[in-house]
């Protein structure tokens, strides 16, 4: 539910505000399998939750879902970057783009729904998270989106290397290649020259 995701997002921001490592030139990275996570909305038996997400026409409030997608994608991105004990004390994750968000249909709040996200592509300092929104009884998602994050060093404001992705199946490899194409379209020059003024 929404409050759970926001709480996790707050925890992650708090952890990322810890004092950065003084060693900014050498950072050990560890290949990671595609990490996934999800959240379920128990609309069918939770009137209070339905009230939070229903719009005046009895459909799901898409804006609220997009907020949750961003938080969930951020959680997954942070989990990938910190996998196997990788040092993330000097890292800050920035949402660089939301690409190809497609609302295929609107849905009501009478059926339970879920958000599922997975790491689909990782470059040197950027990564893509694929997200789907589903409802019980449906064979296909009613919303899909791709979030791109960039890791930035807190001390330098420059892009920072992150754990690479190790596709562990043919499906994951296919998803990786598609994600690579999408991220390159966003602009490899942008990511390669990224610098943020933190002062």
- pTM of the full structure: 0.81
Number of domains in the chain: 1
Residue with structure tokens 């942070």? 78
| Contact between residue 118 and residue 130 where contact means Cβ atoms under 8 Å apart | yes
Residue 20 falls inside a structural domain: no
Q: Which of 75, 109, 99, 79 is nearest to 147 (CA)?
A: 99
Q: What pLDDT is stored for residue 17 in this prediction?
A: 55
- Calculate mean pLDDT across residues 61-86: 90
Structure confidence by residue, pLDDT tens digits, 30-47: 899 998 999 999 999 999
* 14 vs 120: which has the higher pLDDT: 120
How many other CB atoms sit within 10 Å of the CB of residue 133?
A: 24
Residue 198 falls inside a structural domain: no
Domain residues for 102?
Answer: 2-15+30-192
- Calculate mean pLDDT across residues 166-190: 81
140: which 2 tokens?
């296909």
Residue 25 falls inside a structural domain: no
> In the predicted model, is pLDDT for residue 3 greater than 50?
no
Structure confidence by residue, pLDDT tens digits, 112-156: 999 999 999 999 999 999 999 999 988 899 999 999 899 988 888
Residue 199 falls inside a structural domain: no
Residue 22 falls inside a structural domain: no
- Residue 49: which CATH number? 3.10.129.10
> In the predicted model, is pLDDT for residue 8 greater than 70?
no
């Amino acid at each position: 539910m929404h409050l759970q995701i926001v709480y996790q997002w707050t925890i992650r921001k708090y952890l990322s505000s810890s004092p950065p490592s003084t060693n900014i030139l050498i950072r050990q990275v560890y290949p990671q399998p595609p990490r996934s996570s999800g959240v379920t909305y128990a609309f069918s038996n939770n009137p209070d939750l339905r009230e939070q997400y229903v719009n005046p026409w009895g459909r799901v409030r898409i804006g609220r879902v997009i907020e949750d997608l961003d938080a969930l994608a951020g959680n997954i991105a942070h989990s990938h970057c910190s996998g196997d004990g990788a040092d993330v004390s000097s890292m800050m994750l920035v949402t660089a783009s939301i690409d190809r968000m497609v609302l295929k249909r609107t849905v009501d709040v009478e059926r339970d729904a879920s958000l599922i996200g997975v790491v689909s592509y990782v470059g040197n300092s950027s990564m893509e998270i694929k997200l789907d929104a589903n409802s019980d009884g449906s064979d296909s998602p009613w919303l899909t989106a791709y979030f791109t994050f960039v890791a930035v060093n807190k001390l330098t404001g420059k892009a920072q290397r992150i754990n690479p992705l190790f596709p562990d199946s043919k499906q994951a490899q296919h998803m990786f290649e598609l994600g690579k194409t999408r991220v390159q379209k966003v602009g490899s020059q942008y990511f390669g020259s990224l610098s943020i003024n933190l002062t």
